[in-house]
Amino acid sequence: DGGITQSPKYLFRKEGQNVTLSCEQNLNHDAMYWYRQDPGQGLRLIYYSQIVNDFQKGDIAEGYSVSREKKESFPLTVTSAQKNPTAFYLCASSISRAMRQPQHFGDGTRLSIL
C-alpha cells in the first residue's frame, strides 16, 4: 500500500546534538511538508517542498534544516540551534500544486530532550 513512512517513532536528543527525522513516501506526490505539533497549538509549518531540489521556509523554520534530493524523501534535521525541540513532528505530502487535493500524513516522530 502507498503511504508515508516516518522514522523513528521516538527520538531523544542530547544537548548540542543535531538529529535527523526521516520521511519517505511512495505515493508519487510532488509536494512534501514538515509540521511541528505542540499541545493546543495545532500544526505549525516548518518547511515545505514543491519539487525536487527546491524547498521553502514555513512559519517556524529557525533551528531546522531540510533537503529534497529525491522525490520520495524529505528528511528534517533538528539542529542544536533549536532550543525547544520537544514536540511531535509530522510529515505530509500532497499530489501537486493543485491545492484542492488533501495532504496525506505519516504517523509522526516524537522528539524529546535527554
For residue 22, give the C-alpha cell.
526521516
Q: From 18-26, 63-71, 77-85, 90-98, give the range in contact with another protein by CB under 8 A.
A: 90-98
Q: Which C-beta is closer to another protein: that of 75 or that of 80?
A: 75
Q: Which C-beta is closer to another protein: that of 43 or that of 80?
A: 43
Sign of CA pseudo-dihedral 64, 90, 11, 24: negative
Residue 64 binds to another protein (criterion: CB under 8 A): no
> Rg of the chain's alpha carbons, rounded to an integer?
13
What is d(CA 63, CA 57) in angstroms, rounded to the nearest whole number?
11
Instruction: Return the DSSP state at 103.
Output: P
Sign of CA pseudo-dihedral 100, 32, 56, 71: negative
Q: State the nearest-atom distance from the C-beta of 105 to another protein, in Å.
A: 3
What is the pattern of x (binds another protein, CB under 8 A) and - over residues 20-39?
-----------x-x-x----
What is d(CA 54, CA 63) in angstroms, rounded to the nearest whole number?
19
Among 32, 47, 106, 111, binds another protein (CB under 8 A): 106
User: Binding residues for another protein, per CB under 8 A?
Assistant: 4, 6, 31, 33, 35, 40-43, 45, 48, 50, 58, 88, 90, 92, 94, 97-100, 102-108, 110
